Amino acid sequence: MTMWGEAPVGADRIRVEFEGDVHEETVSGGVYLAAWWNVPSRKESSARVSAFRIDGKWIPEMLPEARYE
């Protein structure tokens, strides 16, 4: 399963959560991509962006929903 989207200006990392598993991923060129392996594909997912790191501070998610596949 993958999820991706745009990050706020200045963000360099995101924190994503899926079924209790928390990952941090890099933001590159203003976008992010997170992937989970060996999980069932679903139209609706509990995966979500919980925070963006901007100027070294974690800020709660503030953008529309990400896209999933």
pLDDT tens per residue, range 10-59: 999 999 998 888 999 999 999 999 988 888 766 666 788 999 999 999 99
pLDDT at position 44 is: 66
Task: From 36, 3, 4, 2, select the one nearest 20 (Cα to Cα).
Answer: 36
pLDDT at position 63 is: 53
Mean pLDDT of 54-66: 77
Number of folded domains in the chain? 1
Domain, as residue range, for 54: 2-68
- Coil, helix or strand at residue 8: coil
pLDDT at position 21 is: 87
